[in-house]
Structure formats: C-alpha cells, structure tokens
Amino acid sequence: MTDPLATSGIVVVDKPAGMTSHDVVAKLRRAFGTRKVGHAGTLDPMATGVLVAGIERGTKLLAHLVADDKLYEATIRLGASTTTDDAEGEVLTTADASGIGDEAIRANVEKLTGDIMQKPARVSAIKIDGKRAHELVREGAEVDIPARPVTIHTFDILNTRRAGTAIDLDVRVHCSSGTYIRSLARDLGAQLGVGGHLTALRRLSSGHFAIGDARTLEELQDNPALSLTMDEALTRAWPVLAVTQEEYDALAMGKWLDTRGLKGVHAAQGPDGRVVALVKEQGKRLATVFVARPSTL
C-alpha cells in the first residue's frame, strides 16, 4: 500500500549567510513543488547552519520541535556595542578592550552560564502588541522587551584574538530554545564595561538534528529529497512506544489508550514500523499529542 506520507518529512538545511529563514522556505517551496513548507527556529540573515524545515505534513511536526536545545559557534567582538547587538547594526559605543585580561573574560562568561534572565535583542522576532519587535524598531518606536528565563548549559571560549583595541572571542554555546546569542554578546560586553556584539554565528544543531544531516540549498535544488522521513524524524526525536495494530487504529482516530507508566512524549509505532502519533500520559489516559497518520489520510 502506498504511504500517504511518502513525500512528507523533515529537510535540514545548511542556511547560507545573507538569507532570511523565509527566503529559504521560498526556495524549498520551488524545489519541492509544494506550498506546504515551514521552518522551526528562525536564523538571522547573518547566521549560517542548521535550519530545520518541514515538508507537507512535516510542517505539522515543527511546533513540537521548537522547544529543543540548540548548539552554536559564534564570534563575539568586545570593544563596541551596536543597535542590533550584531555586526549589521550601527555602532552605538566604542571602548578600548585591550586591557581586559583572559581571567576577567572567563569570570564574566561564567556569570552568563546556567539559568539566567536574558533580555532579548530589540530587533528580535518577538511579537509586541501583534507586531514583531524588529518591525517596530524600523518604524522608530521605542522597544523594551522584558527579560525572560533561559538556560545556558555550556558557554566555552574556543579562541581569543586580540587586534588593536578590540578582542574577538570564538565561542561555543549549548543553550535552551529562546536564547539569543546576540544578547549574550551584548551582556558580556556590558559586564566588562566595553560593549560587545556578535560578528559571526553558526548553528551546529537544533534538538536532534545536526549539521551532519544538513544539505546546502544548491544540493536541495539539484536533488530535492527529504533529510528524514516522518517516521525517521519521529523515532529520532522521541522514544518509541510499540503499539498493536488495534491500538494503532485507535490512535489514528484520536482515541486514547490505557496508561502504561510512561514519562514524557513517545512516538507510537505500529507493527509495520510506521509511526501513527506522538502520545503522552494525561491523568488516567494515554492521549495523542500529534497524530502523524490520521485515519482520514
């Protein structure tokens, strides 16, 4: 029997610099010949690396992937602050950072590690009264986004380069979803009293999808193929729960099953290896969180 989800799944793109995430989606729509393309976790135009996109029914899966941790490599320049907290903005302040020692840098990086409160960049995609912050800034409005909790699991300095009055730090950051690396650069510079901004950013992984899964847009335009099928994506990102055919059919209709002591979300996989749904125990029932293969397909 033909799988109705044969053309649905996940594409992991190695996004080039200079393109918005929306630009990437537009190119994927043309390459795959479908309007049903979306992405999880926006990357700024200057950023490169892992952008997870959903194709066809894979777009429905994206909402369940956005809360995953991210891994980045970045370059932070100490000695200047900008309007956007990155190299694309106008310079606000400059200062001589040459006198700052490695010990002081490490100590302040440590302060930005763990569970912290972070104020997102003013030019972020966060919505304020129905409009995105970066749109309001471009219109000349004053934008103040409240600080929010994020987790910086690791913040490692890979290399330190000193050039004149500036210091460039190559860093690797493993963080929770919703973390702004530009804000880390800004806050590190502020703590050191010299200002800071981001000059390069590359995402190495987003949840269970890494740069090793990624293909360039050129490769995808020449050969538009999924990186992972729906089943491969679901069984990689969540632990598997084997279900009988009868249970599979019930879940396909959105029905609930009896609990079985599970913790967290699981991918319910039928005898044929296909995943029918994401399920989670809620009270005294095992309920569907997302139905990958509804009975109506």
Q: Give every CB contact of residue 92 below 8 A, 6+ residues apart in sequence.
A: 80, 81, 82, 83, 195
| Residue showing tokens 């020449």 | 222
Active-site option among 3, 14, 44, 258: 44
Catalytic annotation on 14? no
Q: Which residues contact 165 (CB under 8 A, 6 or more apart)?
A: 79, 94, 95, 96, 97, 98
Q: Find, among 120, 123, 121, the residue nearest to 20 by Cα.
A: 123
Q: Cα 39 vs. chain centroid, distance in angstroms?
A: 9
Ramachandran area for residue 124 (φ above 0: left; ψ -120 to 50: alpha; else beta) = beta
Q: How far apart are CA 195 and CA 82, in angstroms?
A: 8
For residue 50, give the H/E element and its range: strand 48-55
Active site residues: 44
